[in-house]
Each structure stands twice: as structure tokens, then as C-alpha cells.
DNA sequence: ATTGGCACTCGGAACGCCCGAGTGCCAATT
DNA sequence: AATTGGCACTCGGGCGTTCCGAGTGCCAAT
């Protein structure tokens, strides 16, 4: 049904529409591309493409615009990820290289991504559940209050204050600290539940209630319900083409961006690193994001530590954006592995 | 020059314009307010107010709109901070009460503030320089790498990895940890520079280079150039009245909101808690924010730990917004003092 | 000092008009 | 069967015109 030329026409339509933001007609298509046929022929092809649902006209007597389905076909079969230029690669390297800690890495990454793609960038902190424990510190605040500080191999630091059922000496705390670290240091956080299960049994009876209190805080808040965090940048980029690309206002988009839950679903559901995912328009199951697209990837060495990517209007330079997201994801993976 | 009735007219203009978003004319003014005089009289007063620069007409034959100067007079002399309703107070209390750590307090606060005021909310993390040290932890990552973790009384946790000039044993590190904490625990971070200055002299010569390395990291990154952080929420609120309140697009506003430096200048320059500051339109020395206003306050017990507030269009409910900002700042101060 | 009267201004909504890009269809051509 | 030139048709959007009314400034009267 769709011969090569029709596909070529679709590609041309997508490319032209992305760059001009105007419905593209048969005449301008043959002018701007070497298709070797007349406008009338293109019109026939366009009618076929419209029949199949790849393109649509905003109104009669207007040019054609790609539909969700059209963009999807374009991304899947008509384009390839566009590698970054050498200058861009070097810029990424030097910009991310200067980071001093995890917060800094994440914030630099998100700003970089926003600047490279001219879209809204989102970066998830390395997921706690996929990190391992570097160190677990217990700090005595008072007789009956202890600060639990968990540090992961990716540099995340999580802390909670625990109110103890009974006073605890510095020595007993020291002992607990040793026991905890012996159990979990270097281990995956997801293993922690089983590893720590029998910990209270080892300590002397008087300390046991305190050990349990601390343990339950660690397990509940850090292991069972780990807090996932995301950071974003470049929201101003939405306003650039707002009137053109978003039906009424950009309000619903901004609202969606404020909901961590939504962002986590869009960018956090990654399992393997390296793969670039693209979600287009209606494929995104969120009301306010029906006219946006999301390009996301996991970062990390083999298993993904977290997700990152960008969100922008459907009318987006997919090859370029995918290239930028891929490149940034790779560098971030590297950097986190080193640090 | 400005008798009582003229001031009353100005107040009425501001109130009407804020609620209707339309230039207000002499006729509708006497209709909506009990001024006891005729439209013609009001017109004379308006001419005087315009002469003095408190109001302006968008174009001939239109109603009047308050100028920056008009809003300023309104805020300074014609309005008072509006206390929150009991329900609102209770909502704040219960919402902020559930926070589990500093991150949570800050994020809840900023969302709460955005929701109460329907504006963009900004909250600064407690400034490092105004916090005191709760604990300084040194974690040995390898023979020559140490992780420095600083925990403040407000719950902020800062961390840096230090590469050591020579290997360091666990015992030596323990010794250093003790010395550091003895010096600075409970002390103000701003005092740290002088307090820590002679620390290396106390340690055995072999460890001294390492002590200096750790010390310099602590001083440089945490004391001399402390990282100030801000969080924002409610950017979607900008889009609500975007077309009405912002000349072209909201883009420059969104851009300004992405610059930490700008936000810190607007919200971080607070010295005392409790005072509510209002900056209106042109008073804000930033290009993109000429048609916005900022309501900010410091939070903390007596000296401010940090700043918070909201940013919105100049056409804003100042009394209500100031009331919300004040109430939230107070609660946050309390909560941080407890935790 | 206040007020009613009055002429004047001007932005914006409503209307009609026309242009041109773009389409679909069809008969002719290869 | 695919391609093409020709042609009538559609319709959104730009443009000029008209019209309305809210609002103003000024002035003479109170």
C-alpha cells in the first residue's frame, strides 16, 4: 500500500513541517525536494497517506500535517538518530566534567540537555532501589534521637531522624553502626530487606528495641518506599513556540511537569540503559500532554540507574533530539560510574 | 496634594483592577463603591492621580490602570496584610507537619505556597552560612579517598569527595573526625574558618597533609562558597493569566525563574525573619520581570535562615498574598526550630 | 469644591470582500 | 497502470470600513 515514494513523501512532509511549522502542500513539496514527479502525483500520494491516517489537513484547502501515527512511522522507519557534532561532544564532556557532587551532576545534566535540545529537560536522580550502599552512618543527636544517613555508591545521601524507645549510649550506637555496615555496605539496596532481617537478634537484649526502631526506619523509608526524585530545566523553551504548538495555553503542560508522579512514569520507567524511547502525542496517557512528545533514555552502565530525557511539542526534531539525549545519557552513565 | 478621597479612589482603582483585570473608569467606580460623589468629581481626582503618576491610561478614552508607583502606595499605605482563615491555618499546619526531612519540608512548603497564593512560589534552603554544624562525618572510601559529610542543625546535608595526598588509616581518620567535631559541632558555620584554622597543628606530622586536604575542602566548598539552593513550584499559575498580564509571552519570566542567581537575589537577600518585602514591577532590576511583583519574607526564629515567597503578575492580590507568605514563613520557621 | 451636560476620542467588534494556496477530479499522455 | 496538466472549487486569513460605547476633558452652573 505504501510504496517507497509515499514514504519519501511522508518524510518530506514531516521534515518540512518541523522546520516551517506550516501545513505543507504538494507544490512546495516538489519545490523543496527532488522528488522527480509533479505536484499532481504528490497529491495522489498524499490522499493515500491521509487515507491511512499518517497525515491530516487542519481544514479543507490547506496543506497536510503529520498525525501522531505519521510521526511514529517517521521515527521508527524514516529517520536515524543523528550523532552530535564534535564540538557538541566536547562541550558536554567539559561541562559535565566539572561537577563536584551528585547534585551538581544532575543539575548540570538537566541544564545541558535543555540547552542542547531547546526543549524541557528532565533528569531522574539515580533510583535508590537500583543503587548500592556505600555507607550507613548513625549520628547521635540526643539520648533518644538518632540521625540515620544513608550514602549510596552513586552519591545520593538520604537522611531520617529516628526517635528511640529508650536512651542509647554512644558505645551501643557504635556497635549498631558496625553491624549495619557489615551487613549492607556494598550491597544492593534491594537486597537490604532480607539481609537486615535478622540483625536485631545479634545485639544485646537491652539495645534490641532501639535497633528495631532504627532498622524499621531504614527499611520503610529507604528501601520499601524509596523516594524517587526528578529535576527539570528549560521550561522557558515551552513558551518559545507555545502559541504555535499548543492548542490553548501551555498551562496543562506546565501542570503535568509539576507532578512528580507523571514525570516518573514518563522518564523513570526505564530498565536498560542505551535504548532511546520516544512517546508521541496520544501515546502519552496523560490529558495535558496530548500534543507533546517525550524522548527518554536510561543512564547507567548496563542496568539503568535512572532515566532522563526531554519533553517538547510533537513538532520536534526527532533525530537531533534523540542524538542529544543518547549522548548525554552515555556521558552521565560514565561519570557516575567513575565518581 | 493627595487628600483622603483621592487615596480612597486609588485604593478602589487598585482593588477593582486586580479583581476585574480591566481598566477602571469613573462611572463604574462610583457604582461599585460608596464614594458619595459624582463621576465628574472622580474624574478630577483621577486626573490629579494621573498627574502624580499613580495611575495611567492604556490609551486615550480608556479607564485607568495603576502604575508601579500606584501599587507601591497601595501596598505601603492603603492596605494591610490579610490574615488567613482558620481553615487555611489548619491546612498549613497539617500539611507541613507531615514532613519527614528537610527536603520534604522545603518541597511541601513551596507547593503549599503556590497553592495558597495561586502564584509561582519560591523557597530557599536554609542558608549554609547561617546554619550551625550538627555533625561532620568523614567516611573512608579507599586508602586515599574520603567522603566528607556535613550535617547542619536545619537538616541540610552536604557532601564532597576528597582525594588525599597520601594513604590514611581508619584510626587516623577517626582521630581527625573527633578533632573536627570537637571544634565545630554546634558552632555557626560562619565561625568555622577561624575555629578550624589551627587544626592541622594539633595532629601528628604524618597525617598533617591529609588533614589540610580535608580541611581545605571543607572550608572552600562549604564555608567560603556555600551552595545556596532554591526550589520552585506553581509555574503553571503563570500561564493562567498569561495573555492578560504579560506583554508578549511568559517566556522571559520563565527564563528568569530558571536562573538561580536571580531567584537568590529576589528571595535570598533577607536578614530578619517576619518582615514582608514587596518588590513591584520596575523595582525589580531584572529585564524579564518588569511586569511582575515579588512578595518575600525570611523564615527562621530571629535571624532568618533563608527566604521564601512568591512571584506573580503586578496585578496581584497583595494583602492576601502577603498574608499567606507571612503565615507560611512563620510555620516553616517553627518547624525547622523543632526538627 | 462639586456637579451635570456635552462634544470628542478611539479601541475593538462586526461585516464584507478578495486573494491565493491548496485541493480533488478528470481527461490526456506515456 | 501510473503520471500529468488543466480546471473548478474551497476556505482561512488579511484588509478596509463601519459602528458602537465606554470613557474622557472641559465648562458653565450650583
Helix segments in chain A, DSSP class H: 4-20, 26-32, 39-51, 68-73, 86-97, 102-117, 170-184, 192-196, 199-202, 208-217, 236-240, 242-245, 251-258, 260-263, 318-338
Asked whether the predicted pLDDT for residue B55 surpasses 70, the reply is: yes
Q: Return positions of chain C under 7 A from a protein CB.
A: 2-5, 8-11, 20-26
| A177 touching chain B per CB within 8 A | no
Among B135, B149, B255, select the one facing A236 at the smallest CB separation: B255
For the cut 80, the answer to whether the pLDDT of residue B271 exceeds it is no
- Torsion over CA: A241, A244, A246, A251 (sign): positive
Concatenate the DSSP letters of all residues of A293-332 into one string: EEEEEEESSSB-SEEEEEEEESS--HHHHHHHHHHHHHHH
Task: Summarize pLDDT for A182-216 with one digit per residue, the tens.
Answer: 999 889 988 888 888 888 888 889 899 999 999 99
B339 pLDDT band, cuts 50/70/90, is low
For residue A1, pLDDT beyond 80: no
DSSP B36-69: -S-HHHHHHHHHHHHHTTSEE-SSTTS-BEE-HH
Residue nearest to nucleotide C1 (CA to C1'): B41
Residue % of chain B over a pLDDT of 90: 73
Question: pLDDT at position A234, please?
Answer: 97
Segment A67-78 mean pLDDT: 97
Query: Dihedral (C-alpha) A311, A315, A316, A317: value to the nearest 10 degrees?
Result: 170
Residue range A128-147, pLDDT digits in tens: 988 899 999 998 888 999 99
Q: Which of B157, B235, B250 sits opposite A157 (nearest CB)?
A: B157
A-chain CB neighbours of B132 within 8 Å are none
How long is the CA B49 to C1' C22 vector, in angstroms? 56
Q: Which nucleotide minimizes the distance between its C1' and the CA of B43?
A: D24
DSSP letter for A265, please: I
Chain D positions under 7 Å from a protein CB? 3-6, 9-12, 21-27
pLDDT tens sequence across A163-191: 999 999 999 999 999 999 999 988 998 88
Contacts of A188-193 spanning 24+ positions with Cβ under 8 A: A188/A130, A188/A131, A188/A132, A189/A128, A189/A129, A189/A130, A189/A131, A189/A132, A189/A133, A189/A152, A189/A222, A189/A223, A189/A226, A190/A129, A190/A130, A190/A223, A192/A133, A192/A218, A192/A219, A192/A222, A192/A223, A193/A219, A193/A223, A193/A224
- B258 in reach of chain A (CB within 8 A): yes
Per-residue pLDDT at A109 exceeds 80:
yes
Per residue in A31-60, pLDDT (tens digit) is 999 999 999 999 999 999 999 999 999 998
Tell whether A204 lies on the interface with B, counting CB pairs under 8 A: no
- Name the grid cell of A72: 511514529
Q: Which residue of B has its CA nearest to A141?
A: B134
Query: Over the stretch B133-173, which tens digit does the pLDDT of each residue have?
Result: 999 999 888 899 999 999 998 989 888 889 999 999 999 99
Interface touch A149/B134, C-beta < 8 Å: no
CA of B237 to C1' of D19 (A): 38
Put simply, the answer to whether B234 touches A258 (Cβ < 8 Å) is: yes
Cell of B194: 577561624
Distance B17 CA to D25 C1' (A): 22
CB contact under 8 A, B235 and A254: yes
Query: Is B249 in Cβ contact with A161 (below 8 Å)?
Result: no
In A, which residues are within 8 Å of B258 by CB distance? 233-236
Average pLDDT over residues B99-120: 95
CA→C1' distance for B236 and C25 (Å): 49
A80 touches chain B (CB under 8 A): no
> What per-residue confidence (pLDDT) applies to A252?
96
Q: Do B240 and A250 touch (CB under 8 A)?
A: no
Judge: A254–B239 Cβ closer than 8 Å, yes or no: yes
Whether chain B has a CB inside 8 Å of the CB on A244: the answer is: no
Query: What confidence score (pLDDT) does residue A81 get?
Result: 97
- Determine the distance in angstroms separating the CA of A160 from the nearest CA of chain B, rounded to an integer: 6
Provide, in whole angstroms, the distance separating residue B38's CA from nucleotide C4's C1': 9
Distance CA(A41)–CA(A24), nearest Å, equals 15
Q: Which nucleotide is nearest to B40 (CA to C1')?
A: C3
Helix (H) or strand (E) holding B12: helix B4-20
Q: Per residue in A14-27, pLDDT tens? A: 999 999 999 999 99
CA distance B254 to chain A (A): 5
Residue A339 has pLDDT above 70, yes or no: no
- The predicted model gives B119-129 an average pLDDT of 95
Neighboring chain A residues of B137 at a CB cutoff of 8 Å: 137, 139, 149
pLDDT of residue A65: 97
CB of A64 within 7 Å of some strand C atom: yes
Confidence (pLDDT) at A322 = 98
Instruction: Give the model's pLDDT for residue B220.
Output: 85
The answer to whether the Cβ–Cβ distance between A139 and B141 falls below 8 Å is: no
Residue of A nearest to B339 (CA): A161
Closest nucleotide to residue B61 (Cα to C1')? Answer: D23
How far is CA A314 from its chain centroid? 17
pLDDT digits (tens, 9 = 90+) for A284-337: 999 999 999 999 999 998 889 999 999 999 999 999 999 999 999 999 999 998
B235–A235 C-beta distance less than 8 A: yes
User: Which residues, 6+ apart, have CB-to-CB distance to A149 below 8 Å?
Assistant: A136, A137, A138, A139, A157, A158, A159, B137, B149, B151, B157
Nearest by Cα to A218 from A155, A130, A138: A138
On the question of pLDDT at B43 being above 70, the answer is yes
**Are B249 and A255 within 8 A, CB to CB?**
no
Instruction: Assess B254–A contact: CB distance below 8 Å, yes or no.
Output: yes
CA atom of B28 to C1′ atom of C12, Å:
20
A63, A199, A218, B248, B261 from B291: Cα distances, Å? 39, 60, 48, 11, 19
Residues 43-62 of A with CB under 7 A from strand C: 43, 46-47, 50, 57, 60-62
Predicted pLDDT of residue A5: 95
Q: For residues A124 and B232, give the distance between their C-alpha atoms in angstroms, rounded to a whole number.
A: 17
Compare CB distances from B254 to A100, A239, A249 and report the shortest one's residue.
A239
Q: Which pLDDT score is estimated for A249?
A: 86
Between A97 and A198, where is the model more confident? A97
Residue B104 · residue A100 · CB < 8 Å:
no
Look at A223 and A253; give whichever has higher pLDDT.
A253
The pTM of the full predicted model, rounded to 2 decimals, is 0.93
Residue A224 pLDDT class (50, 70, 90 cuts)? confident
- Nearest nucleotide by C1' from A44 CA? C24
Classify residue B53 as left (phi > 0), alpha (psi -120 to 50) or beta.
left
Amino acid at each position: 500500500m505504501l510504496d517507497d515514494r509515499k514514504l519519501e513523501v511522508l518524510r518530506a512532509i514531516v521534515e518540512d513541517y518541523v522546520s516551517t511549522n506550516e501545513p505543507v502542500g504538494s507544490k512546495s513539496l516538489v519545490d523543496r525536494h527532488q522528488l522527480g514527479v509533479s505536484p499532481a502525483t504528490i497529491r495522489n500520494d498524499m490522499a493515500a497517506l491521509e487515507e491511512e491516517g499518517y497525515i491530516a489537513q487542519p481544514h479543507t484547502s490547506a496543506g497536510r500535517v503529520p498525525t501522531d501515527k505519521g510521526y511514529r512511522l517517521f521515527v521508527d522507519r524514516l529517520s536515524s538518530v543523528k550523532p552530535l557534532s564534535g564540538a557538541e561532544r566536547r562541550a558536554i564532556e567539559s561541562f559535565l566534567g566539572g561537577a563536584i557532587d551528585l547534585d551538581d551532576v544532575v543539575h548540570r545534566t538537566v541544564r545541558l540537555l535543555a540547552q542542547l535540545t531547546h526543549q524541557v529537560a528532565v533528569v531522574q536522580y539515580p533510583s535508590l532501589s537500583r543503587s548500592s550502599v556505600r555507607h550507613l552512618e548513625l549520628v547521635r543527636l540526643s539520648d533518644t534521637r538518632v540521625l540515620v544517613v544513608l550514602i549510596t555508591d552513586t552519591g545520593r545521601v538520604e537522611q531520617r531522624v529516628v526517635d528511640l524507645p529508650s536512651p542509647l549510649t554512644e558505645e551501643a550506637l557504635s556497635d549498631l553502626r558496625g553491624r549495619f555496615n557489615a551487613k549492607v555496605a556494598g550491597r544492593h539496596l534491594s537486597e537490604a530487606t532480607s539481609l537486615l532481617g535478622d540483625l536485631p537478634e545479634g545485639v544485646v537484649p537491652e539495645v534490641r528495641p532501639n535497633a528495631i526502631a532504627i532498622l524499621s526506619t531504614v527499611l520503610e523509608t529507604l528501601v520499601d518506599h524509596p523516594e524517587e526524585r526528578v529535576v527539570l530545566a528549560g521550561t522557558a523553551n515551552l513558551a518559545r513556540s507555545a502559541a504555535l504548538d499548543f492548542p490553548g495555553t501551555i498551562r496543562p503542560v506546565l501542570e503535568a511537569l509539576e507532578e512528580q508522579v507523571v514525570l516518573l512514569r514518563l522518564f523513570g520507567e526505564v530498565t536498560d540503559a542505551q535504548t532511546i524511547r520516544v512517546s508521541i502525542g496520544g501515546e502519552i496517557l496523560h490529558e495535558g500532554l496530548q500534543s507533546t512528545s517525550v524522548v527518554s533514555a536510561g543512564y547507567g552502565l548496563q542496568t539503568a540507574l535512572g532515566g532522563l530525557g526531554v519533553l517538547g511539542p510533537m513538532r520536534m526534531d526527532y533525530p537531533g533530539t534523540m542524538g542529544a539525549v543518547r549522548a548525554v545519557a552515555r556521558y552521565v552513565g560514565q561519570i557516575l560510574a567513575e565518581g
